[in-house]
């Protein structure tokens, strides 16, 4: 990409600064896996530390913008049009277990519309960026969603509800419906990266129940700017309100939506 806007420069710089701490902390995890206390408290501190770094960088560059952060919650700004939506460590369970598949996710919501998104995978050093009307990029290379047209050729991604949360029965029906007709389903444990992979054409589609706005906001911009479709599981616009998410290329969006909706209660 020959041009990166000042806005994306702010977002990528914040992600890269926080990533340096996460990489150091990830390298320490192998020493903690066998301890009696375990690494959970350590990872929680790493998560909060990364969020503080991101918040400081964003506030320094755009002090009037509001914030919605996974750990810190919502902070209104004097600029009521703009709000950052941040997940400092998407894929916490992977990080906790020493699995190098996690990301930093930063989105900008402008006038209640998702305007820009950055998803950074620190271990792979993959920086996904998108800004409304400007396309989506991975390390400077323009992204397009996949061109596959047939469900039986398609590889999909999803997320499994955590223990203690509802929707396991519904998820099992959805998973069975998709696995019965597709080339396969993957569950890698990071919604932000799942959406980035759809934008990059690595996955042909992705769905998941529930989720919080910081899990999906940046990825939604990436998929849209890469030429894909995104909606909630009912086909609406409630992706940031916990109504689930479905993303795919133009040819497979409706077939995947039909499978998921048919396997859902009332479908």
Following DSSP, what letter does each residue of 125-174 receive, concatenated? TEEEEEETTTEEEETTEE--------GGG-EEEE-PPPTT-S-HHHHHHH
| pLDDT tens digit sequence for 196-253 | 999 999 999 999 998 999 999 999 999 999 999 999 999 999 999 999 999 999 999 9
Q: Which of 259, 257, 231, 258 is nearest to 243 (CA)?
A: 231
| pLDDT tens digit sequence for 118-139 | 999 999 999 999 999 999 999 9
CATH code 3.40.50.150 for 6-142: no
CB 257 within 8 A of CB 235: yes
The reported pLDDT for the residue numbered 161 is: 80
Per-domain boundaries in the chain: 6-142, 151-263
Non-local (6+) Cβ contacts of 129 within 8 A are: 1, 4, 8, 11, 12, 116, 117, 118, 136, 137, 222
Residue 11 DSSP symbol: H
pTM of the predicted protein model: 0.94
The dotted CATH code for 151-263 is: 3.40.190.80
**Whether the domain at 6-142 and the domain at 151-263 fall into the same CATH topology:** no
SS3 75: strand
């Amino acid at each position: 990409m020959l041009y990166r806007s000042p806005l994306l420069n702010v977002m990528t710089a914040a992600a890269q600064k926080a990533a340096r701490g996460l990489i150091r902390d990830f390298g320490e995890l192998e020493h903690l896996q066998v301890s009696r206390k375990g690494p959970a408290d350590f990872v929680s501190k790493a998560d909060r530390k990364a969020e503080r770094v991101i918040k400081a960088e964003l506030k320094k560059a755009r002090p009037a913008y509001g914030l919605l952060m996974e750990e810190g919650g919502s902070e209104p700004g004097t600029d009521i049009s703009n709000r950052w939506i941040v997940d400092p460590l998407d894929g916490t369970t992977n990080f906790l277990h020493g699995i190098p598949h996690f990301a930093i996710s930063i989105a900008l919501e402008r006038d209640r519309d998702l305007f820009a998104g950055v998803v950074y995978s620190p271990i792979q050093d993959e920086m996904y960026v998108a800004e409304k009307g400007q396309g989506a990029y991975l390390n400077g290379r323009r992204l397009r969603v996949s061109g596959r047209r047939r469900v039986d050729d398609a590889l999909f991604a999803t997320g499994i509800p955590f223990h203690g949360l509802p929707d396991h029965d519904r998820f099992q029906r959805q998973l069975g419906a998709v696995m019965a007709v597709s080339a396969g389903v993957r569950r890698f444990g990071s919604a932000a990266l799942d959406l980035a992979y759809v934008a990059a054409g690595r996955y042909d589609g992705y769905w998941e129940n529930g989720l919080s706005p910081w899990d999906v906001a940046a990825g939604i911009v990436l998929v849209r700017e890469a030429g894909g479709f995104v909606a909630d599981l009912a086909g609406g616009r409630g992706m940031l309100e916990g109504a689930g998410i479905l993303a795919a290329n133009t040819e497979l969006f409706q077939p995947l939506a039909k499978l998921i909706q048919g396997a859902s209660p009332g479908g």
